[in-house]
Amino acid sequence: MRNKRVRAAPGGAGGPHSAVRSRAPCRTRASGGLNSSRAGVSDAGNLTVRAGHTHNTRVPVPRISKEDLKQRLDSGAPPVLVDARLKYPYEHSTVRLPGAIRYTTEGAAASLPRDREIVVYDSDPNELASSGVVAILIRQGFRAVALQGGISEWLAANLPHETKEAPRQAPPEPGALKG
């Protein structure tokens, strides 16, 4: 994009740079996906996630251990479990945490209860996807935490899970397998 020249005010008021106004958009760091440069671990053991392009603050993301989650699931008021795995790991897995709700960006928060704690998990041991979802939910007023280690550590500890259907491969068209 080209710069647009604007005439300076009479007498040169406005300083040496007032004669050029840039029409180029402001360049900022991309904020499309959550990557390791956007998340860090604080001293308290919480993840801190930088907000997306619409926010300019960091949100501390509380985490819960698999042992604490197991105790809460066995209690009288269990938390709501939210599966925030990315599309490919979710679709190609046959397991999920008991009663977990699938989180997608299209209006998922609208169906979540505001009176219960929400535990978000993903398949990444560093909780990158789930910490981003937790930050969004916290900004919307939910009580949300990320599961430390994700579903992989949960399964490695032989904790309860349920099965779900994996995608089925479409059968080949007749005659497609003949060489």
- Residues 166-177 have pLDDT tens digits of 766 667 777 777
Helix (H) or strand (E) holding 151: helix 150-156
Is residue 108 very low, low, confident or very high in pLDDT (cuts 50, 70, 90)?
low
State the number of CA atoms in the 13 A half-sphere of 22 facing the CB: 5
Q: For residue 166, what are the contacts with CB-CB under 8 A and spacing of at least 6?
A: 91, 92, 93, 94
State the number of CA atoms in the 13 A half-sphere of 168 facing the CB: 4
Share of the chain above pLDDT 90, in %: 36
Selection from 79, 101, 80 nearest residue 90 by Cα: 101
Neighbouring C-beta atoms of residue 105, cutoff 10 Å: 8
d(CA 71, CA 69): 5
pLDDT in tens, 61-105: 999 999 999 999 998 889 999 999 998 888 888 899 999 999 877
d(CA 4, CA 6): 6
Assess contact for 112 and 118: CB atoms under 8 A: yes
d(CA 41, CA 48): 6
d(CA 89, CA 124): 10
On whether the pTM is more than 0.75, the answer is no
